[in-house]
């Protein structure tokens, strides 16, 4: 499967399992599969929801800061990749 880097983790809120992501490339939509990778982080998951400023959106674009619910711990500056279908 092909992967394209689309952003990086800027923050992680462990009590609610939400990662803040800076989108630096093409964008991200609900339903996309992502791969989060860092020194000790390495997992894939589907994007079930995206929030911008506490408002649910279907798609995020380059330059957006978004929050997504994640299934595992992430760390600041972990890379976020979109997996091509």
What is the CATH number for 7? 2.40.30.10
Burial 57-80 (b: 16+ CB within 10 A, else e): beebeeebebbbebeeebeeebbb
Q: How many domains does the chain have?
A: 1
Which of 85, 83, 76 shows the shortest CA–CA distance to 38? 76
Query: Above 90 in pLDDT, residue 85?
Result: no
Q: Which domain holds residue 33?
A: 3-83
Average pLDDT over residues 64-82: 97
Distance between CA atoms of residues 84 and 41, nearest Å: 20
- State the pLDDT at residue 55: 97
**pTM score of the predicted model:** 0.94
* 1-57 pLDDT per residue, tens: 799 999 999 999 999 999 999 999 989 999 999 999 999 999 999 999 999 999 999
């Amino acid at each position: 499967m092909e992967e394209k880097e689309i952003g990086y983790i800027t923050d992680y809120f462990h009590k609610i399992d939400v990662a803040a992501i800076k989108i630096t490339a093409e964008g991200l939509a609900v339903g996309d599969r992502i791969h989060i990778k860092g020194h000790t982080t390495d997992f894939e998951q589907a994007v079930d929801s995206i929030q911008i400023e506490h408002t649910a959106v279907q798609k995020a674009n380059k330059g957006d800061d978004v929050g997504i619910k994640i299934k595992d711990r992430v760390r600041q500056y972990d890379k976020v990749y979109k997996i091509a279908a």
